[in-house]
Amino acid sequence: MGAAVMRTEQWGDGPEGARENADEQVVAFRLAAESYGVNIGQVREIVTLPPITHVPGAPHFVEGVINLRGQVIPVVDLRQRFGMPPAERGSETRVMVAEVGEFIIGLIVDGVSEVLTVSGEQVEPPSPAIVGPKSLFIRGVARLGDRLLVLLGLEHLLGSDELASTEKAMADGGAEAAHGVPAERQLAPAVGGGAR
Amino acid sequence: MSGEQEVFTAAEWQAFGDEAREHLAALEQRVLAFERGEIDPDELATAFRAAHTLKGGSATLGLTNIARLTHVLESRLEELRRGARTVDAPMASALLAATDALGTMLDSAVATHADPAPAEDALRVLDALGVPEAHAAPPAPARPVAAGAALHATEAGLVRCRFAADCAMPAVRALQIWMELESVGLALRSTPSMADVDAERVGDEFAVWLAASPEQDVLARLGGLPEVASVEWVAGSASASRPARTNGDAAAVDHAEAGLVRCRFAADCPMPAVRALQIWMELENVGLAVRSVPSMADVEAERVGNEFAVWLAAPPAPDVLARLGRLSDVASVDWVAAEAPGAAGGAPPVPAAPQAGEGAARGGSGAPAKAAENEHSVRVDVSLLDNLMNLVGELVTERNRLLRIGQELHEEQAQSLLQVTSQLARLTQSLQETVLKARMLPVDRVFMRFPRMVRDLSHQLGKEVDFVILGGESELDRSVIEAIRDPLVHILRNAVDHGIEAAEQRQGAGKPRTGRIQLMARQEEGHVVIEVADDGAGLDPARLRQVAVRRGVLSAERAAELSDQAALELIFVQGFSTSNQVSEISGRGVGMDVVRRNIESVGGRVELTSVLGRGTSITMWLPLTLATVRALLVEVGPQTVALPLTAVAEGLKAGPSAVQHIRGRPVMVVRGRTVPLLSLAEYLELPRPADVPQLAVLVQVGRELYGLAVDRLLGEQEVVAKALPAFWPQSGGIGGVAILADGRPALILDLAGVTKVLSQRSA
């Protein structure tokens, strides 16, 4: 109980709120050539990639839904989410099932390597040089010897304001605007407004 | 009751709230019936008991203000029971205002665990309506409705409860004990009396006379009450186990008064049931009859032997017994006082069990069945049922996988596996059905509140409406019940507001002044059909066409082309309202389009018929449950999707010869009807195949037909529907997700949504 509360405080407040000297366990995974970490408390399990059913009208980074032992959960392609180029999926590809706010979602990653203990003094705030969609999700960088581990906070992953700004970025960029998002924005008021 | 506060758990508050709301609903229903002049003694007893139980419960929790208002309400009901008043419109309104106020107070009490502010207005109005002389009289405790069980008189006796030495609130405990025993329908009277309990004149003992020996668990429940030190059952005739005299000074035991009148009929009595009824009425007239053996229900069913006995609350005057003795065919009449525990001297003659006779089947009437029902039902948290449903769904999915594996195995291995899986299939099937049944509720749960709504509305509009509900016992899944609530409210409001005409207008049209609205539910195979019919003005297709043109929904030419039925269907078009003025009641911008969408979103269907001047009827077909869906599985590109069977008309061969184009859009001609051909691939955001589709499924949405281009039909299946977990705004068209036998998730399409999305995309 106490630990869970501490964890919430730690992550809820983002990088500023991180406790200086608290040790934390993180699940380390790969995206392209980079290493990332997510607090183990947010990760429910890691599974190999099951068949994914595409859902029309979903945001571009939502690949679809999967069946996790009878539970239907949406999966997010983290590469897509971070604006990275898509990659061939292989035997290393994993779905990291994580709790994000009230949702349970699957995160598609290139591979999961290990569980690491990171101490507070190893963590530095994210460099202001990081820009782009990724910047919202990074709460710090852990220096482990000669390795760098980017620590992710998942809270903003599904956030609606973030969603909106991504859509805006996309609309501005124009490249992916045709991916069903405009239709959904157009429909949402009709559905919401009409239903009393 | 004292204002002392007890610490009750949140669950206890919740349980109290749930139960109290049921009592309030029961009260409201009865009040509406009373206003219509339907004052049935049983119904009155039910209302009275609901009020009494609510009063007791709220007093126990220290909710003095709720108890106060309930007390006044109970007093008015008591006057009604005495025949001192009738329920006219102001009285009904005052009673209803009180139940409303109680509802609000309850919500607040359950939320805050504290006594809410008093509802002074409701209290004052209701108080002012009191019949004067009755007002000073202390409220009599409710007598239980005579339960119909054929009881042996020897079973009667006394429950004696001793309170702990440091018991802070003996009156509260006494009330709890009384209510517990009353709820099992057995309590006859108490010592000290309930009037004394109300006045907090209770010592360290409390005794209740019962008409029959209680079940062991009832006694155990009493023993489990806080501050109750001991509970003892003393059978009325068991003189050997006579307890010591009660030592509480307040407990001046006077129960020797209660007793039994035993009447024996002549051997050749041709109509014992008639005689029994006469005896009952005679005793009831003097106000003493508590219950009879055999029960009055048995008497009505003519299940009476050669004896009939009536329990009385007090000894009757000698002339009453004499009158009974003079009735024809009555051979003998005896008064047998119930034995007072601790009474000195020899035991009075033990009242023998009256011979109920061969015909007096035990438990043959409705009341004991009801009691049994109570014992055999438990309150279950809804989330528990949902969980259970999910687990069963998973089990079904795994079973399907197992069946599939079995089909892929070699002959010998398959045989034994097949045996196991077919057995498993049977078990899961019945498990699934059982769990589904546990989620079913009678539609009355929703219907219950409508009489009140229709009454208030018609009063407000000055219309005379006779509202009839039929088939309220039909059962639907919880989730469907929730979904029909708002549509029904809307349809009924429409019927009162726009359907039923003013009384003068009706008279002028040669109709009865009082309009009639009928709400009916019935079960048809796999569906529940709900129909709202009124005998009002009906809809005028000509006027609907005009309005549609004026609102810019249709061009004048298109409007003229519409058939009358199609013109009626215009009311389902978004933004279309037929009322001349937007009224308080139904013109809130919520249209029939929302009604239709809500019904369709749960896989249902709405149809409308109307005859100008004769009335309108709206019929809804609803699936029994949302937890499973009968679906046609189809393949579109790499994806399998489920189309609910309620919407599927048939599978059609498409191909180049069958598909034509009108203004660049593909259509098919099906039996002379031109049907738009929609691409499911496009809806699913799949690359659209270049070829002309070879296969289409004909589906019905509202009254429209559509062809849906698909690649392959996989067959019908009952699938378990799960909600689509989505953190993004839904664009419509997805009713849920099913898990296929191979473990893949498949979308269950909501075809009304699909056609809407596609037509908006192409627009």
What confidence score (pLDDT) does residue B341 get?
Answer: 39
Q: Evaluate if residue A194 carries a pLDDT over 60.
A: no
Q: What sign does the CA torsion over B310, B151, B222, B158 have?
A: positive
* Closest to B527 measured CA to CA, from B609, B626, B421: B626
Burial class of residue B443 in the structure, from the number of CB atoms within 10 Å of its CB (0-12 exposed, 13-18 middle, 19+ buried): buried
**Confidence class of residue A129 from pLDDT cuts 50, 70 and 90?**
low
Show Cβ contacts of residue A118 under 8 Å, excluding neighbours closer than 6 positions. A23, A24, A25, A26, A37, A142, A144, A149, A151
Across chain B, mean pLDDT equals: 77
Secondary structure of residue B429 in the 3-state scheme:
helix
A190 assigned to some structural domain: no
The continuous run of DSSP H or E covering B274 comes out as: helix B272-285
Segment among A5-9, B28-32, B681-685 with least mean pLDDT: A5-9
What confidence score (pLDDT) does residue B521 get?
Answer: 92
Q: Evaluate if residue B454 carries a pLDDT over 80.
A: yes
A192 assigned to some structural domain: no
* Closest to B676 measured CA to CA, from B696, B691, B656: B696
Cis peptide before B214 (omega within 30 of 0): no
What confidence score (pLDDT) does residue B352 get?
Answer: 37
Q: What is the mean pLDDT of residues B294-312?
A: 80
Is the separation of the CB atoms in B649 and B705 below 8 Å?
A: yes
Å from A13 to nearest chain B CA? 22
Q: What is the mean pLDDT of residues B21-45?
A: 85
For tokens 């698909």, the residue is B710
Q: Which of B593, B596, B602, B728 is best to mutate for the A interface (most A CBs within 10 A)?
A: B728
What confidence score (pLDDT) does residue B347 get?
Answer: 34
Q: Quick one: angle between helices A181-194 and B592-601, nearest 10?
A: 120
- Cβ–Cβ below 8 Å for A184 and B728: yes
- Cβ–Cβ below 8 Å for B639 and A54: yes
Per residue in B627-668, pLDDT (tens digit) is 778 889 999 988 999 998 888 887 777 767 778 888 888 888
Per residue in B55-107, pLDDT (tens digit) is 878 877 778 888 888 888 888 888 888 777 788 888 888 899 899 999 999 98
Q: What is the mean pLDDT of residues A19-40?
A: 84
What confidence score (pLDDT) does residue B288 get?
Answer: 67
What confidence score (pLDDT) does residue B763 get?
Answer: 62
What confidence score (pLDDT) does residue A29 get?
Answer: 94
Cβ-Cβ contacts under 8 Å, B593 against chain A: 194
Which residue of chain B is at minimal alpha-carbon distance from A68? B743
A80 assigned to some structural domain: yes
Is the separation of the CB atoms in B103 and B21 below 8 Å?
A: yes
- Cβ–Cβ below 8 Å for A55 and B760: no
Segment among B94-103, B674-683, B691-700 with least mean pLDDT: B691-700
Segment among B342-346, B418-422, B425-429, B534-538 with least mean pLDDT: B342-346
Q: What percent of chain A shows pLDDT beyond 90?
A: 26
CB contact A69 to B (< 8 Å): yes
Query: Whole domain around residue A20: which residue ranges?
Result: 2-183
CB-nearest to B747 from A53, A187, A188 is A53
Which two tokens mark B156?
Answer: 């009667």
Q: Evaluate if residue B571 carries a pLDDT over 90.
A: no
Residue, of B686 and B348, whose pLDDT is higher: B686
A117 assigned to some structural domain: yes
Å from A155 to nearest chain B CA? 13
- Cβ–Cβ below 8 Å for A195 and B686: no
Measured between alpha carbons, how far apart are the two ends of chain A, in Å? 41
Q: Evaluate if residue A31 carries a pLDDT over 60.
A: yes
CB-nearest to B732 from A55, A104, A191 is A191
DSSP state of B216: H
Cβ-Cβ contacts under 8 Å, A58 against chain B: 726, 728
What confidence score (pLDDT) does residue B343 get?
Answer: 34
Q: What sign does the CA torsion over B216, B221, B224, B226 have?
A: negative
Highest mean pLDDT among B4-8, B184-188, B447-451, B688-692: B447-451
Q: Evaluate if residue A174 carries a pLDDT over 50.
A: no
- Cβ–Cβ below 8 Å for A103 and B397: no
What confidence score (pLDDT) does residue B694 get?
Answer: 81
Instruction: Mark B298-323 as b/e (b = at least 16 C-beta within 10 Å).
Output: bbebebbbbbbbbbbbebbeeebbeb
What confidence score (pLDDT) does residue A181 get?
Answer: 35
Q: Evaluate if residue A12 carries a pLDDT over 60.
A: no
Secondary structure of residue B181 in the 3-state scheme:
helix
Q: Evaluate if residue B232 carries a pLDDT over 90.
A: no
What confidence score (pLDDT) does residue B632 get?
Answer: 92
Query: Could you please report the per-residue DSSP string of B373-417?
Result: HHHT-----HHHHHHHHHHHHHHHHHHHHHHHHHHHS-HHHHHHH
A175 assigned to some structural domain: yes
Q: Evaluate if residue A172 carries a pLDDT over 50.
A: no
What confidence score (pLDDT) does residue B523 get?
Answer: 81
Q: Evaluate if residue A1 carries a pLDDT over 50.
A: no
Which two tokens mark A154?
Answer: 């998942």
Segment among A145-149, B1-5, B292-296, B638-642 with least mean pLDDT: B1-5
Cβ-Cβ contacts under 8 Å, B729 against chain A: 184-185, 187-188, 191-192
Q: Evaluate if residue B581 carries a pLDDT over 50.
A: no
- The A residues from 79 to 108 touching B (CB cutoff 8 Å) are 103-105
CB contact B168 to A (< 8 Å): no
CB-nearest to A57 from B723, B731, B743 is B731
The continuous run of DSSP H or E covering B419 comes out as: helix B411-438
Å from B589 to nearest chain A CA? 8
Residue, of B40 and B240, whose pLDDT is higher: B40
- The CA dihedral of B111, B114, B118, B123, to the nearest 10 degrees, is 80
For tokens 């204002």, the residue is B3
pTM across the whole model: 0.48
CB contact B366 to A (< 8 Å): no
What confidence score (pLDDT) does residue B520 get?
Answer: 94
Q: Which of B572, B577, B685 is best to mutate for the A interface (most A CBs within 10 A)?
A: B685
**Confidence class of residue B387 from pLDDT cuts 50, 70 and 90?**
confident
What confidence score (pLDDT) does residue A187 get?
Answer: 31
A194 assigned to some structural domain: no
Q: What is the mean pLDDT of residues A128-142?
A: 73
Burial class of residue B283 in the structure, from the number of CB atoms within 10 Å of its CB (0-12 exposed, 13-18 middle, 19+ buried): buried
Segment among B37-46, B169-178, B241-250, B632-641 with least mean pLDDT: B241-250
* Closest to B61 measured CA to CA, from B18, B103, B13: B13
A151 assigned to some structural domain: yes
Q: What CATH number is attached to the domain comprising A109?
A: 2.40.50.180
Q: Evaluate if residue B615 carries a pLDDT over 80.
A: yes
- Cβ–Cβ below 8 Å for A163 and B728: yes
Q: How far apart are CA A71 and CA A77, in angstroms?
A: 19
A189 assigned to some structural domain: no
The alpha carbon of B548 is separated from its chain's Cα centroid by a whole number of angstroms, namely: 40
Cβ-Cβ contacts under 8 Å, A164 against chain B: none
Per residue in B727-762, pLDDT (tens digit) is 787 778 888 899 887 888 999 998 888 988 887 776
Is the separation of the CB atoms in B553 and B532 below 8 Å?
A: no
CB contact A56 to B (< 8 Å): yes
- Cβ–Cβ below 8 Å for A67 and B739: yes
**Confidence class of residue A183 from pLDDT cuts 50, 70 and 90?**
very low
Cβ-Cβ contacts under 8 Å, B763 against chain A: none
Q: How far apart are CA B262 and CA B153, in angstroms?
A: 10
What confidence score (pLDDT) does residue B333 get?
Answer: 84
What confidence score (pLDDT) does residue B144 get?
Answer: 37
Q: What is the mean pLDDT of residues B496-508?
A: 91
Count: domains in chain A: 1
- Cβ–Cβ below 8 Å for A74 and B725: yes
- Cβ–Cβ below 8 Å for A196 and B594: yes
Segment among A35-39, B3-7, B387-391, B648-652 with least mean pLDDT: B3-7
Cβ-Cβ contacts under 8 Å, A65 against chain B: 724-725, 737, 745
Cβ-Cβ contacts under 8 Å, B389 against chain A: none
Show Cβ contacts of residue B101 under 8 Å, excluding neighbours closer than 6 positions. B69, B119, B121, B122
